[in-house]
Structure 1
Amino acid sequence: MPLTDTTIRNAKPTEKPVRIFDGGGLYAEISPAGGKLWRLKYRIDGKEKLLALGMYPDVGLKDARERRDEARKLLANGVDPGAHRKAQKAAKAERSANSFEVICREWLEQRKDTVEPSQHVKTLARMENDVFPWLGAKAIAEITSPDVLGVLRRIDERGARYTAHRVRSEISRAFRYAIATGRADRDPCPDLKGAIPAPKAEHFAAITTPTEVAELLRAIDGFRGTFVVKSALLLAPLLFVRPGELRSAEWSGFDLDKAEWRYLVTKTKSEHLVPLASQAVAILRELHELTGNRRYVFPGRDPHKAMSEAAINAALRRMGYDTKTEITGHGFRAMARTILHEELHIKPEVIEHQLAHQVPDALGTAYNRTKFLKERQTMMQQWADYLGKLKVGAEVIPLNGQAA
């Protein structure tokens, strides 16, 4: 007789497993411990086999019958339902192993040692917040351009257009990694060129007029924060390197006797040399008394780590500056580029080399850290002297904009 739900529910365990049959090979097996497992007995190629269909009551009588009927349809077509299930599980496991999230995390981990720690953290956060919830579980080879576009539009619609473009680039790089490792055939991201409008150009806030620079320098002199942060503030306009390169500077790169700082530019992976003006050397020698026995010139709260990337901007805000509209740690570069050219009439190519920008010459040769070295040494000292005069108000700025 076919089973009823009441029969199954009231079935009691005994010392040995008990089977109660429903028909068509389906039965419930009650274990001595009281568990009730649905099983299907079937024959294929002359062999009798069993297929587990789930536990009762998680799988009710109706669901168990439906699973039995699905299995019998496979048998009618010559397919072993047990082997079919194993193939499905294997395919699911393969899809999971080749999911976008698994491969993207693998790519991020693989490049971790070649990017700034903060960049790794930010990229991972963007993926976890904006990409993985929608694409993470999908097999990377099955992701289409519309799938990616849906992710980008969600980001763009919340007003983060720049982030949307950045995420498209990062998704594309994850796909290229998948292609290189044999787990995808193509990158769908190039198909989306123009699908999200280009973001408006954003420039780092910077102070570029001599009178305002003078006020800023005096404000830095009056800063009442820690000695390490104040030293970084004093050096930022003198050196005008990228904020991340300044805060993560290591003493091993400095030769104060030669008045030089050498380091690897993270953006271009090229060696860079910064000639140090006498004013910068004096600040560094004083700071060396405090942090010279450590790795980092500007250690953070944890002495084994560099100063926080937010420290300079936080200090500028404490001094009353708006880091969105007036000046940021990165803005010292624009300050130097503008005034060196417009007020001190330094050749643009010399300035660009000191900014560690890739500047091909007439022969197409890329950036060389020693090129214009004598000119740059002179420029850096001239720049430091100029800032010193601005700070004390001794530099006269005529109406025609020429420094006297």
Structure 2
Amino acid sequence: MAKVTPLSSTAVKQALSNSKVKESHANGKVHKLRDGDGLHLRIRPNGSMSWVLDYVQPFAKKRISISFGTYPEVSLAQARKKRTEAKELIAQDIDPKEHRDDKHREQTLAAKHTLKSVATDWFEIKKTTIAENTATSLWRKFENHVFPKLGHRPIDKILAPEAIEALKPLAAKGNLETTGKIIGHLNNVMNHAVNTGILHHNPLSGIRSAFQTPKATNMATIRPHELGKLMSDISYASIKLVTRCLLEWQLHTMTRPSESAKAQWSEIDFENKLWTIPAERMKMRLEHKVPLTPQTIEILARLKPISGDREHLFTSYMNHNTHCNVESANKALSRMGYKNKLVAHGLRALASTTLNEQGFDPDVIEAALSHVDKNEVRRAYNRAEYLERRRVLMCWWSEHIANSLNGNIDFSARINHLKVIGGSS
């Protein structure tokens, strides 16, 4: 094969006036000006020129070509540099065309996969495993504190320093608990991107160490001996009857604020004295049955004239076709003077503390609180086995609440009585 004389910049600039090029074009043919080592300038009859490298594929040993771009956008020097890079890849048994195509695909996917789009995909799955109000709160955190600065960014471009800077203003306000939750959610999104092939690794796995750890705080609650005063305060409080019933219902049933606020008449089984909360409304996405006591049946009787023809037990004051605000109980307690002393969720802690102090079986208490046993076999057994024992426990708790208002809290006598009628607790 004759030795190829490398091209000069002048020869390339004057390519269209080259007599051989003109002759080829006159015959409707593409002409090639060779630079050597597989590189040539391909000149079409329409005058367009592009750099092309002919090479033999590694392993397949098939002759193919790769384009380096058009002239003059890509100069002779740039084309030669691209040839050198391609030859280096071939020496490593890497096909330069496949390498370029793979890189292009990755860049296209990266541009398509912004943090917000990947977070949205992750959230669609996540929200099926958590309660509705928890999901709403989670997504609001992203919208308020993450998306404004990071949502539009390709997820593969987001590194630890950028994420830390985005969260610093929130942490500076002292919202360390919220910051920690967002960091956890961000890591879940990044891990989702890794698991779905969008990222090779999670670049935010260590950013928690850049922030202070929030001090653990318990839900504000009161001690068991303060129950009587609470019941007295509820009975004399200047609050709507529906709100009063909501507070008492949540206290008696030991349920979470959102579970009580969204209770529906269709969930009440009067014949078997059971309230069945569907899985989609429960924190752990498992159906929960609450035995109804004479006191909770009485609350339902009080509500019947108010909301009996509606869907929800506790209807909204502004719109009777929907449930009351899930914060209604908290706001009422705050107005009653319990701000920073007791929150609605703390009523569950009050029940748990009282029942544990009185010697009830901890497993039965946990089941009544709808806390999920991590052991699946034990959980399935407990759900079936504990219902009647929970009924005894709930009856004791309701009677204790009723009697606390009168100061009649003879624990031992009442527990012994219930053991006789309902079995060991």
What TM-score does the superposition give when structure 2 sets the normalisation length? 0.68
Give distance in 2, aligned partners of 1:120 and 1:270.
16
1:34-76, Cα deviation, whole Å (9 max, x unpaired)? xxxxxxxxx9834457xxxxxxxxxxxxxxxxxxxxx955344
Deviation at 1:129, TM superposition (A): 2.4
Mapping 1:171-320, distance limit 5 Å:
171-192=186-207, 194-210=209-225, 212-263=226-277, 264=279, 266-300=282-316, 301-320=318-337
Q: Secondary structure at the match of 1:184?
A: coil
What is the match of residue 134 of structure 1? 149
| Cα displacement string for residues 178-229 of structure 1 (whole angstroms, at most 9, x for unaligned residues) | 334432232233333544343211111001232x211111111223332322
Amino acid aligned to 1:392? N
Give 2:171's match in structure 1, choosing from 156, 162, 169. Answer: 156
Bigger radius of gyration among the two: 2
Instruction: Identify the match of residue 370 of structure 2 among 356, 360, 364.
Output: 356
Residue in 2 that maps onto 1:74 = 74
Quote the residue 1:63 is aligned against.
none
Which letter maps to 1:235? Answer: W
Cα distance change on mapping 1:380 and 1:145 into 2, 3 Å: same
Q: CA RMSD in A?
A: 3.3
Among 395, 402, 411, the alignment partner of 1:381 is 395
Separation in 1, partners of 2:311, 2:320: 9
Q: Name whichever of 256-265 and 144-153 sits farther off.
A: 144-153
Higher percent of residues as helix? 2
- Whether 1:326 aligns to 2:324 is no
- The CA deviation at 1:126 is 1.7
**Residues 374 and 117 of structure 1: CA distance in aligned 2, closer, same or farther (over 3 Å):** closer
Task: For residue 310 of structure 2, give the secondary structure of its aligned residue in structure 1.
Answer: coil
User: What is the match of residue 45 of structure 1?
Assistant: 43
Shift of the alpha carbon at 1:340? 1.4
Q: Which runs of 5+ in 2 are unaligned?
A: 1-12, 14-40, 49-70, 81-102, 417-425
Q: Which stretch of structure 1 is more off in the superposition, 363-372 or 173-182?
A: 363-372
Cα 1:185–1:200 shift into 2, 3 Å: same
Question: Structure 1 length as normaliser, TM-score?
Answer: 0.71
Q: Tell me if the contact between 1:99 and 1:138 (Cα under 8 Å) persists in the aligned partners.
A: yes
For 1:92-133, what per-residue CA distance to the aligned partner results, in whole angstroms no more than 9, with x for missing partners? 875442111222233334544554443333222221222123
Matched, 1:118 2:133: yes
SS in 2 for 1:105: helix
1:135, CA displacement in angstroms? Answer: 2.0
Instruction: Give the secondary structure class of the aligned counterpart of 1:320.
Output: helix
Q: Following the alignment from structure 2 to structure 1, what is the Cα–Cα distance between the partners of residues 385 and 374? A: 11
Q: Which amino acid aligns with 1:354?
A: A
Q: Distance in 2 between matches of 1:359 and 1:261?
A: 21
Aligned pairs, how many?
Answer: 327
Inter-partner Cα distance in structure 2 for 1:358 and 1:118: 19
Match of 2:19 in 1: none
Percent identical residues:
25
Aligned ranges for residues 2-41 of structure 1 at < 5 Å? none
Aligned in 2, Cα 1:91/1:270: closer, same or farther, shift over 3 Å?
A: closer
Residues 336-374 of structure 1 deviation map (CA, whole Å, 9 limit, x = unaligned): 0111121x321222211111112357x962363233222
- Tell me whether 1:365 sits opposite 2:347 in the alignment: no
Q: CA deviation at 1:269?
A: 1.5
Contact 2:257 2:327 in 1 (8 A): no
Q: Where do residues 47-62 of structure 1 align in structure 2 (5 Å cutoff)?
A: 47-48=46-47
**How big is each residue's C-alpha offset from its partner over 1:127-160, in whole Å with a ceiling of 9 and x where there is no partner?**
1222123322221123223333333444322211
Aligned to 1:103: 118
